[in-house]
Structure 1
Amino acid sequence: MNKISVRLADWHKDNADIHRIRSAVFVAEQHVPPELEFDAEDPTAVHFLALEGDYPIGTARLLPDGTIGRVSVLRDWRGLNVGDALMRAVIVEAQNRDLTKQMLSAQVHATPFYERLGFRVVSEEFLEAGIPHVDMVRDSREIA
C-alpha cells in the first residue's frame, strides 16, 4: 500500500472524485437518497480528499460555521486509519480558520471513532436519512 495523504480539494476540479466516493459510501452502501447527499452547501464548503498515492479514497467537508460532514472512506480502505488522517486534516484546517468549535452529526456506530478525536455527544439519538445519528461537538480550547 502506498502512503496515505490528505489534501484540500477543489469542489469544481475534484467534483468527480468527491461524487464517486460519497455516492459509493452513502448512496450505494447506506441507501441515502442522492438529493439528500449532495446539497446547496457543497459549492461553498471546504472539501478534503484522502489519497493512496494519487488515487482518491476518502473525502470530508467543512462548512463555514465549523460543521464537519460527509466523512467517507471507500470500503477497501476502511480500518487503515484513513478516516483518522482525514479528520485530523479537517480539524487542523478548522483551527487555522479560527473555528475552535467543530460540530458534526455522527452515525451512532461511529461515535467511538469521533470520541477518540475529542468529540463528545451533545444530543439524543435521532434519524437522519433513516440512519441513527447523534450530534457531537469538539472544542479545541478544551483539548490539551
Structure 2
Amino acid sequence: MHNFEIIVINSQNSDRLLDKYFGLRRGVFVGEQKVDLSIEIDEYENLEDTIHLIALDETGAAAGAGRLINYACHGGCGPSVKTAKLGRICVAPEFRRMGLGRLIVEKMIEEARRRGYKKLVLHSQAYIAGLYEKFGFVRRGETFKEAGIDHIEMTAQMAE
C-alpha cells in the first residue's frame, strides 16, 4: 500500500518539484497518449493564479498531477460566477488503480473551494467521466476531440 502526499507547488518548493511535475505530465500525455508537446504545455502554466498539484509517493517519486486554472467560462457561467477549470490530471502507470486519481480530484476541489471558486469545469477524457460524476460533475453536450482524444465537457457547482 502506498501513502501519497499531494502538494500545491508554490515559490517555496517549485525548484525541487516542477521538474518532477512536468516530467510526469510529459510522460503521460506526450509519451503515452501522443499529445503534441505544444498543446500539453500552454499559456496557462505560468499565470499567477494557476495552481499546480503533484502527488508524491513515500519515496518522493512523482505519482500524479493536476492543474487548476481561473476559467473565463463560455456560455452559462456569467461574469459573476468565479469558475475554475480542472485539467492536466494524470497518474503515472505504476500508481494507477490505487485511488490516487480520486485523491487528486478531492485536493483540487478543496483548493478551488479555499480560493472562493463557485463553479468547476473540466474536459474529461470520455473513458474516465464516471470518476468525475462521483464528485457531482454533470456531462454537458456531446463528446468532442481534444488533442485527438475523445473528451466530454463536465461542470459542477461548489457546495456552499
1:93-113 residue CA offsets vs partner (Å, 9 max, x unmatched):
001111021110000001011
Partner of 1:87: 105
Partner of 1:130: 148
2:63 is equivalent to residue 57 of structure 1: yes
CA distance in 2, matches of 1:141, 1:111: 20
What secondary structure is seen at the aligned counterpart in 2 of 1:20? helix
Q: Is the 8 A contact 1:125 1:133 kept in 2?
A: yes
RMSD of the TM alignment (CA)? 1.4
1:67-118 residue CA offsets vs partner (Å, 9 max, x unmatched):
0100010011011011111110000000111102111000000101111121
1:12-39 residue CA offsets vs partner (Å, 9 max, x unmatched):
5222111111111110110000000001
User: How many pairs are equivalent?
Assistant: 142
Partner of 1:20: 23
Q: Determine which structure has more spread, i.e. the larger CA radius of gyration.
A: 2
1:16-66 residue CA offsets vs partner (Å, 9 max, x unmatched):
111111111110110000000001101121000111112221110000230
Partner of 2:157: 139
Identify unmatched segments of 5+ residues in structure 2.
72-83
Structure 2 letter corresponding to 1:57: A
2:134 is equivalent to residue 108 of structure 1: no
Among residues 55, 61, 68, which one is paired with 2:86 in the alignment?
A: 68
Which structure has greater helix proportion? 1
Identity across matched positions, percent: 29
TM-score by length of 1: 0.93
What secondary structure is seen at the aligned counterpart in 1 of 2:70? coil
Q: Is the 8 A contact 2:30 2:40 kept in 1?
A: yes
TM-score by length of 2: 0.84
